Amino acid sequence: MNSIPIMLFGTLCLLCTPCFAGSHDYGEEMQNLSSSKVLENAIGSHDHWQGIGRLTINQGSCTASLIDTRDETASEPTPAYILTAGHCVELSNGNIVTDRPINGTMDFNYFADVSTFKHYPLKTVTWRSIQGVDMAIIELDVSLQKLIEEGIQPLKLARDTPTYDKDMLIVGAPKGFEQITLRMAACTLQPAKEIVEGSWVWRNTFMTRCQDVRGGGSGSPVLDRYTNEIIGVIGTGNFEEGIVPCLDHAPCTPVGDTYQAVPGNVYGNPTTFLNGCFSQGRLATNPPSSCQLYPTFTIEGTNNLESYKRPKQLDDSSLIVPTWNYRFSINTAFYRYKTVRSAMECESTQHYSDAISATNAFINAEIGTTPGLYFLCIVGVDSSTQRPEAGLLKNALSLPIEILDNKPTTPPDLAIEAEVFVKLAEAEEPYRTYSIKYGPVETTDCHVPDKYIENMPMDFFIANDKLPGKLCVIAYDKSGQASEPRIDVFNRVIGVQQATSAGADAAR
């Protein structure tokens, strides 16, 4: 877990770390885009990162960091807050959690060479969302002052919005290594557009190409290399290849006219907007307008929103336009919605509907017919006169759906070699699954659905003693729409006799 005009690391300026006179390099002269480094602290050289560690909730683990909320006007003690990714708390979409008790633990001093980590219980989910941003603030069951007394240093939130191409560090505890403790990676901050992963949409994002960021690294702080201030939180990335873009574990982003999952991209959310949310060392209970964590609302869908839809063409060539068909409940009296092509438009006041009663909430507006991604934007309001404000729009729920073209799924393109080896041709369309059936030429009917083997890897051998025979192959596009069967008849001699047209059974 876990997504931009893409700026890949092809230039030499990204392969080195510039030097700034008078600046302390917390990256310790580490080159950008090099392999991550295991962190040790036996001599106190990394005390400044004692406040970054392992967050454990319900047997799952992420990275989190203690944030510095000290205020000279505050009466001590004040709460200790950790910052992490929202999906580390729970995975439900549409649910902005505030002030809810939580069980779990936080381990500080999480270095490779220490014998004992500093272990503290969690207390409250102060704020958590994975709609728009992937972020959570959790209060520990200990004061900030007590942690500081025990040597755990909090990290400051950067006051200014970071500039792109800034040198940055990711310090986290990703899994998949022999030593699962803190590691440091170095790279630069790059711009991003919205990220789509399954039903989740994150709008205010950035992209990096830091190495060795993977599962368990969610929630890691993104640090300014020369100030050690937090400028963002890691949410997701493309760590696996071959997955259908925009589905779970394959976050996608606009690249040209399409959404693509770019291998090696790591995504996160900036944290500058949090600065207006703390007062006297506490997350403000009546936050000022400068705090865009509020107002919140919670939406729960009562039916599953489909990932893909198609327009349907009637005999008179007219089209039936797909609709949202989304039923849900919301904890406000009213809601507003709109359909957009870019998720960032959900944070604009323009084109939202009038306030609609939340009783039996149902949105069945037309989506569109042009192929591509669309987003349903929903905000909850307490009255018919309440207008969307900045915090409310930042919390807007964006639900994605992809409209596919109204074309039949093409049969698979196979490369078949003698004796007989079957594999996909180089020109075969990506992200498809396959079902196959093989049997005697005279009795195998490719149009009868029984005896097909589903989700078959298309890389297999048919031994000579199994010849002659008939091979039936059905391809399914990413929406699950099936093609007509491709039919191939194999003789004992080298070569292939393919049916003259897909769907025409050669045995007939």
Burial bucket for residue 289 (CB in 10 Å: 0-12, 13-18, 19+): exposed
- Average of pLDDT values for 369-377? 96
- From the list 251, 189, 250, the residue with the least C-alpha distance to 225 is 189
| Predicted structure pTM score | 0.86
Tell me the longest C-alpha to C-alpha distance in the chain.
89
Lookup: tokens for 104: 């779990």
* 53-96 pLDDT, tens digit each: 999 998 889 999 999 999 888 888 999 999 999 999 999 899 99
Q: 383 pLDDT band (50/70/90 cuts)?
A: very high
Give pLDDT, residue 1: 47
Give pLDDT, residue 82: 98
Cβ-based neighbours of 148, under 8 Å, separated by 6 or more: 154
CA–CA distance, 62 with 215 (Å, rounded to integer):
8
CA–CA distance, 501 with 487 (Å, rounded to integer):
8
| Sign of the dihedral defined by the CA atoms of residues 284, 288, 293, 297, in that order | positive
Give pLDDT, residue 6: 30
Q: Is 89 helix (H, G, I), strand (E, B) or coil?
A: coil
* 325-346 pLDDT, tens digit each: 999 999 999 999 999 999 999 9
Which of 1-5, 29-33, 324-328, 427-431 has the least mean pLDDT?
1-5
Residue 499, pLDDT > 80, answer no
CA–CA distance, 52 with 120 (Å, rounded to integer):
13
At which residue do the structure tokens 């900030």 appear?
Answer: 144
Ordered by where they begin, the domains of the chain are 24-282 (2.40.10.120), 299-403 (2.60.40), 414-498 (2.60.40)
Give pLDDT, residue 440: 95
Lookup: tokens for 18: 């510039």
Q: 15 pLDDT band (50/70/90 cuts)?
A: very low
Q: Average per-residue pLDDT in the chain? A: 89
Instruction: Give the H or E element holding residue 145.
Output: helix 144-149
b (16+ CB within 10 A) / e for 416-451: beeebebebeeebeeebbbbbbbeeeeebbbeeeee
Fill in the amino acid letter for 21.
A
Give pLDDT, residue 120: 98
Give pLDDT, residue 277: 92
At which residue do the structure tokens 């039919």 appear?
Answer: 487
* 162-210 pLDDT, tens digit each: 899 999 999 999 988 888 899 999 999 999 999 999 999 999 899 999 9
Vertex 160, ends 12 and 63: CA angle to 5°? 75
b (16+ CB within 10 A) / e for 86-113: bbbbbebbbbbbbeeebebbbbbbbbbe
CA–CA distance, 365 with 357 (Å, rounded to integer):
16
Lookup: tokens for 173: 């505890």
Residue 238, pLDDT > 80, answer yes
Q: Tell me whether the omega of the peptide bond preceding residue 154 falls within 30 degrees of 0, making it cis.
A: no
- From the list 234, 196, 239, 197, the residue with the least C-alpha distance to 217 is 234
Q: 11 pLDDT band (50/70/90 cuts)?
A: very low
Looking only at the bridges linking them, the beta strands covering 308-309 and 312-313 are unpaired
Q: What are the two backbone dihedrals, phi and then psi, of residue 24, each rounded to the nearest 5 degrees? A: -85, 130
| Count helices and strands in the chain by DSSP H and E runs | 2, 38
- Greater confidence (456 vs 316) lies with 456
CA–CA distance, 65 with 6 (Å, rounded to integer):
28
Give pLDDT, residue 419: 75
Walk across the sheet containing 421-424 and list its strands: 414-417, 421-424, 459-461
- Average of pLDDT values for 137-157? 97
Q: What percent of the chain has pLDDT over 70?
A: 92
- Are 342 and 375 within 8 A, CB to CB? yes
Residue 2, pLDDT > 80, answer no
Vertex 316, ends 310 and 318: CA angle to 5°? 40
Q: What are the two backbone dihedrals, phi and then psi, of residue 48, each rounded to the nearest 5 degrees? A: -65, -10
Give pLDDT, residue 8: 32
CA–CA distance, 317 with 309 (Å, rounded to integer):
18
Write out the DSSP string of 90-125: ---SSB-EEEEE---EEEES--TT-SS-EEEEEEEE
Which of 97-106, 121-130, 289-298 has the least mean pLDDT?
289-298
